[in-house]
Structure 1
Amino acid sequence: MLRQTATFSTALHGLARTYSLSTTSSRVSLTASRTYASTSIPRRSQAQAIEESHHRDDPHHQQQHQATSSGSSGTSGSPGTGAGSGVRVPYYTLAELEAMTLLDLRALCKENGLKVGGRKKELVDRTFKYVHHHQQQQQQQHPRPSSKEAVKTGVANTGTERTAHIKDQLEREARLQKEQAAQMKLLEKEAQAREKREIEKRKEQQEKDARLAKEKHEHELRLKEQHEKELRLKKEQQEKDARLAKEKHEHELRLKKQHEKEARLAKEKHENDLRLKEAHEKEALMKKEQQEKEALIKKELHEKQQFLLKEEEKLKEQLAEAAKRVQAQAVGHEHQNAVKSATKDHTSGSASKEGSSRHQSNQDEWAKEKLPLGTRAAGLAMGLGIMAWFMSGKRDRWAEAQDGEKPKE
């Protein structure tokens, strides 16, 4: 009998588990999560299933479960009545709670009267504390019965448990259909909102693409302008470099010509200095020769003057002797004239007067002839000296000496 009761309870639990899994696989995750939150057969651990099988074997627990099932028809629609109305809260491990989605956790919290707001970690902690606390209360209120009592009451409570299970299953299906309809509406709204978001997103993407295309076009234009500017700058730089190279080459040519000119001028200056030096030396030599010539000319002139003075003395002596002879001749001639005049005095008075006037004129002529004779002799002597000077070549040397002294003056 005990074996049959255990087998029946195990089969019943497997049937409920299979039904729950098949229902869950045919629905979306949110509906499945709400199914777990609203039913007494969620994804439970093996320890929870074993513990529930022991509770089913307990007669006292069967009575409590029947009371709970009879009262759940009036209170199943109101969340938050869990412990007060006798509804058994399923036990969830922390890993199972963390595996649920955020919507599942919120639905579970809502059906158990817990706070729905907050992040996922806060919902997990809140639900786990509530489930753990409620499980402790159930263990305190319904202690685990002994195996003998479970054997006695197992057979009696089997029919009642099956009836309650069928009733719970029908209520669960109705509640699932209602939640499925609400979920479908919610999904439609979410789909519409998602489609609207996608349209807005596409519109934003199109605007973004247009903006990016415009920015790309502007960027390409800037790159093109930059490239053209770089080419222009490169060309200008090349022209500038060529111009600078040409100017540098011309400057080097000018410097080369300047150096050549300076070298030529230096050479010409050196040659000019040499010529000037030679000219100075030649001038000094010529000056020395000129001084020697002048000294020689002065010496020759002095000698010539001495010679001319001697010749003049000789001429003066000769002139004096000639004058004496002329005077003696004149005295003799005068005496002869006096004799002649005396012989002619016996002529007429007119003849005597004429003779006296003629005598006077003869004396005047003699006086005239006497003076020019000395002058002519002196001039003859000077002419002979000058002629001798010219013929000797001394006059030419004296003229050259005079010409050499003129630049200095």
Structure 2
Amino acid sequence: MEVNTISQQKSNFFERYFFSKSRYPNIGLIRLLLIALCMLQVFRNYRFLDVFVSIDPVRDALHLPSTLIGLFHLPFPIQKEYLSLFVIAFYTAGFFAMLGIFTRVSVFIFSIMLLYIIDIQAARGVFDHEYTLTGLVLLVMTFIPGTGNFSVDRFISWKRNKAKYSNTSFLEAMIGNPEYVWGYKLILILAACTYFTSGLSKIRWGGLAWLDGQTLTYYLDGSASPFTPGEKPMFISPPNVKEEEKWKDGFGIYSYSYGNRQQSPFWRSTGNALAASPKLMMFIAASVVIFELLGFLLLFEGWSRVIYLIGAIIMHRSIGFLMNLPFLSFQLLCFLLIDWHWVYQHLGKRLQLMIDKLFKRFKLPAH
């Protein structure tokens, strides 16, 4: 009897955790805003994607295609004669996916093309963490419930299907009906794995030595800044490294250099001030690793998830200020993954009254 009770409790928990229904957070809104930011960032950083074409046949021959490129036998890199067609297809798919035109198909195409160009860069030794998580989240959105919310497809359906949307306002139609939350939980699992493995890799490859704060000190004290005088180091592996001593699963490393490209004198001086205290650097290094290893807190309900997501935003903002690596898409995703409706319901009554007064003052829709 006791075994059956425990089994039933587990079944009920699983059912509630993955198959309860909610409108919040809204997957369609996450799709719209995340793709909009992604397209802006890609255009700002790569414009018309010239960097993804063949640079030098001899140099490109040194790089092996990634698993994704090899699995689907995709061109590596993009051939110059096909670049214009690829650029048009990439931005068109992104535009359609953002607005929700043929929503799931366009999101799938855009996510695959985004992961494709990321893999070209990764094969050349430049791994873009920011676009990778965005690409994976968008790929998941091709099959999870709620992706079609806030879309042109939904608007057309709302206008045409009067029987289905009778007595439904435009905003209600865009928000959509309550959906199964397993899609939202799957995105949380992706985010949790990203943060946890980031912390784990620091320990795996750097060991406890990473916790001495010297790595962060190097990034913040001006040693890695192109805006400070003096030559900057590049770490070059000797050519005769034994196979068993190569790191990164036997691939080894032939050169590595990182630059802190923060141009603001104020934030550079702030970084210098922080780096001047070895104990503070040790504390920050340990705190970052512990925070990342606690990424599984995203899988828990309630305030632990909310606090972790807010903490992640603060961490990325701090890195952005000090090292000019803002990870804006991470910040946006963390903000949108917070169930603000749940937060509102669990705030103190006094704060709720303040928010309600604010909504009334600006004539915003009630909650």
TM-score range (shorter-chain normalised) is under 0.3
Q: Which has the higher helix share?
A: 1
Give the TM-score, by structure 2 length: 0.20
Relative contact order, CA 8 A, sep 6+: which one is greater? 2
Give the TM-score, by structure 1 length: 0.19
